[in-house]
């Protein structure tokens, strides 16, 4: 059995590592220059992709800075309302916590029924879904209006 292994040619070709370079002459039939050309094309495509990503990040950052400036200006123009929004967001957050507690308790109590019955699952989603979505939307708006950052600090951020 050991002689069978010795008589078979190795599936791996030998690589000349003495010179340490890879040139067009390293592959038979000029395939090296084709590989180098393809690698250059890939590098050019990657460079273009990086440029597009940088433009996208710059665009998103400018939009975020503009939104933060608008929220900061609104907060400065309406400080009393901003404080009221913060208080409302804190109160509504407590309501949301209690609502989530009842939702999770309902799931625990009716897990088998919800898993096995499509009708019951649809009823559950109809009962809790819209309320949760609207509650989350209200909380998000109130939180944004109450915690708008200072426009001067957002201009200095990257």
Q: Which helix (H) or strand (E) is 148 found in, with range?
A: none
What's the predicted TM-score (pTM) here? 0.53
Domain boundaries of the chain, sorted by first residue? 29-156
pLDDT digits (tens, 9 = 90+) for 110-142: 999 888 888 888 999 999 999 999 999 999 999
Distance CA 20, CA 32 (A): 15
pLDDT digits (tens, 9 = 90+) for 75-117: 889 999 989 999 999 999 999 999 999 999 999 999 998 888 8
Angle between helices 31-77 and 79-109 (to 10 degrees): 120
Phi-psi region of 20 (alpha: psi -120 to 50; beta: other; left: phi over 0): left
Q: Which pLDDT band holds residue 29 (cuts at 50, 70, 90)?
A: low
């Amino acid at each position: 059995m050991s002689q069978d292994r010795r008589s078979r040619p190795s599936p791996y070709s030998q690589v000349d590592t003495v010179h340490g370079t890879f040139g067009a002459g390293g592959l038979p039939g000029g395939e090296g220059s084709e590989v180098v050309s393809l690698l250059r094309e890939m590098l050019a495509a990657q460079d273009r992709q990086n440029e597009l990503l940088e433009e996208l990040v710059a665009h998103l950052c400018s939009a975020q800075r503009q939104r933060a400036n608008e929220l900061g200006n609104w907060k400065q123009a309406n400080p009393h309302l901003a404080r009221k929004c913060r208080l409302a967001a804190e109160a509504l957050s407590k309501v949301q916590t209690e609502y989530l507690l009842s939702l999770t308790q309902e799931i625990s109590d009716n897990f088998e029924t919800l898993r096995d019955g499509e009708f019951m699952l649809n009823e559950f989603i109809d009962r809790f879904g819209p309320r949760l979505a609207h509650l989350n939307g209200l909380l998000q708006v109130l939180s944004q209006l109450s915690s708008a950052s200072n426009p001067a600090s957002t201009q200095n951020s990257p």
